[in-house]
Amino acid sequence: MASATFAAGCFWGVEAVFKALEGVLSTEVGYTGGQAENPNYELVCTGQSGHAEAVRIEFDPETISFEGLLESFWNLHDPTTLNRQGSDVGSQYRSAIFYHDERQKEAAEKSIALLDAADSFDNPIVTEIQPAEAFWPAEEYHQDYFAKNPGAAFCHI
């Protein structure tokens, strides 16, 4: 088993996409990359804590590689918009890869270089690549949000 952590806007939609991938064993939404200890949703929403809404993924690398997760990450959001995804605006919605080891860092850097070289997006990628730090699980009502709220509108990015 291995871990990966990604931020790509509203964590509800990000979690739903990753949760559906074969080889993803579990997902958890939460907050990472900020200064406050034990942040909550209200604090993170102010944009003052420095945290991003993120998804921590436990996956089976025999079934899906980190590179496979990266491919889904690039396809599920716009990595060229700074601190925003669709109508969600603020640093808490930034695009970021929080790597768990040097191999993940290198894979993320290589992936960005290849996408930029291929002009895969109309604008340059602004995704942050940062070491995984403390991950604070979000409140229970955010976990697996769409399964708990089947009538909720999906986050569009």
Which percentage of the chain shows pLDDT scores above 90? 85
Alpha helices in 6-86 (DSSP H): 11-19, 41-45, 66-76
* Total residues belonging to the chain: 157
88 versus 156: which is more confidently predicted?
88
156 pLDDT exceeds 80? Answer: no
Rounded distance between C-alpha atoms, residue 10 and residue 28, angstroms: 13
How confident is the model over 128-139, as a mean pLDDT? 96
Per the rule left: phi > 0, alpha: psi between -120 and 50, beta: everything else, 50 is left
How confident is the model over 31-51, as a mean pLDDT? 94
Catalogue the active-site residues. Answer: 10
pLDDT score at 157:
44
Quickly state the pLDDT bin for 153 (edges 50, 70, 90).
Answer: low
Rounded distance between C-alpha atoms, residue 78 and residue 81, angstroms: 6
The model's pLDDT over 107-122, given as tens digits with 9 standing for 90+, comes to 999 999 999 999 999 9
Write out the CATH class of domain 2-148: alpha beta
Other beta carbons less than 10 A from residue 27's beta carbon: 21
Q: Where are the domains of the chain?
A: 2-148
SS3 116: helix
Question: How would DSSP label each residue in 82-95?
Answer: TTEETTEESGGG-E
The model's pLDDT over 44-102, given as tens digits with 9 standing for 90+, comes to 999 999 999 999 999 999 999 999 999 999 999 999 999 999 888 999 999 999 999 99
Residue 5 Cα distances to 18, 45, 63, 148, 151, angstroms:
11, 19, 18, 22, 27
Q: Is-contact 87 24, C-beta < 8 A?
A: no
